[in-house]
């Protein structure tokens, strides 16, 4: 795909979300303290937190902020994983697992806090997240998850069948697991809102500029695009499943 021929997907989010900021292409030779490849949630959030720490940051984006998976998902904000429980994560990863569990526990609240603090118009609703139970035998799974997450300070609750019926309007469920910090958001509006926010904080975003390679040169990382290059002392690769639409940046195009 040519960097000058980016097409937005036909989706609900693309149809109802206001346009994002107008960002230039990367041309010539540029510099930053930290260069980020990818303008989705990971890249934009990294840029936001780095700028809050007064670090000079530039993002190189193949299309436009939010073009990939960040702007196409269903918008659920779920502060847990589908399978591993906290004890499993910590047993396998130790202290790193403890930090990861804490991050998961606080992830939804962190997101909604950022949206509120920077007044991002993302149709956000922090109304909680419910995992309903579809069979009597799976109630034990919900009980275990509530017990474990409660142990690590998460605001979770085990719901009875009647409580789930009252909340969801359906008699199909046998109970459920509720986390009060979860909710829903317009993901494309969030990505575009984060892009506007970081631009306002001084981050540079170069759009329609697929990275063709990156390499270490003279003690710095150098990222090349079709029309320019940018160097920095640190590099964050924050691409996603759509990277192959442009170039295999993470694999064959990396020159150590």
Measured in whole angstroms, how far is the alpha carbon of residue 46 from the centre of its chain?
A: 10
Give the chain's domains with CATH numbers. Answer: 24-72+188-255 (3.50.50.60), 76-185 (no CATH)
Query: In the 8-state DSSP scheme, what is residue 75?
Result: -
> The pTM is what?
0.89
d(CA 153, CA 228): 48
d(CA 56, CA 46): 12
Asked whether the predicted pLDDT for residue 146 surpasses 60, the reply is yes
**Overall average pLDDT of the 219-243 stretch:** 92
The arrangement of strands across the sheet holding 204-206 comes to: 204-206, 57-60, 34-37, 234-237
Helices (H) and strands (E) in the chain, counts: 6, 14
Asked whether the predicted pLDDT for residue 34 surpasses 80, the reply is yes
Backbone φ, ψ for residue 148 (5° rounding): -70, -45
**Overall average pLDDT of the 112-121 stretch:** 97
Residues whose CB falls within 8 Å of the CB of residue 174, separated by 6 or more in sequence, listed in order: 133, 134, 135, 136, 138, 139, 161, 164
Asked whether the predicted pLDDT for residue 246 surpasses 70, the reply is no
**pLDDT tens, position by position, 71-105:** 999 999 999 998 899 999 999 999 999 999 999 99
pLDDT at res. 252: 41
């Amino acid at each position: 795909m040519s960097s000058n021929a980016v097409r937005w997907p036909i989706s609900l989010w693309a149809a109802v979300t206001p346009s994002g900021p107008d960002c230039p292409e990367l041309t010539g030779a540029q510099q930053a303290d930290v260069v980020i490849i990818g303008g989705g949630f990971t890249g934009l959030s990294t840029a936001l937190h780095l700028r809050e720490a007064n670090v000079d940051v530039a993002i190189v984006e193949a299309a436009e902020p939010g073009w990939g998976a960040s702007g196409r998902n269903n918008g659920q904000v779920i502060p847990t994983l589908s399978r591993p429980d906290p004890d499993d994560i910590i047993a396998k990863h130790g202290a790193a697992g403890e930090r990861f569990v804490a991050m998961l526990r606080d992830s939804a609240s962190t997101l909604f806090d950022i949206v509120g603090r920077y007044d991002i118009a993302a149709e956000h609703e922090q109304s909680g997240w419910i995992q309903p139970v579809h069979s009597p035998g799976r109630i034990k799974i919900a009980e275990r998850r509530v017990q474990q997450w409660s142990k690590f300070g998460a605001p979770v609750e085990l719901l009875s069948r009647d409580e789930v019926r009252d909340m969801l309007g359906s008699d199909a469920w046998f109970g459920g697991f509720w986390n009060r910090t979860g909710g829903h958001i317009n993901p494309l509006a969030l990505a575009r809102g984060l892009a506007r926010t970081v631009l306002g904080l001084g981050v540079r975003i170069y759009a329609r500029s697929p990275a063709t390679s990156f390499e270490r040169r003279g003690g710095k990382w150098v990222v090349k695009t079709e029309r320019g290059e940018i160097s920095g002392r640190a590099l964050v690769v924050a691409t996603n499943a759509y990277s192959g639409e442009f170039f295999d940046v993470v694999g064959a195009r990396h020159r150590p």
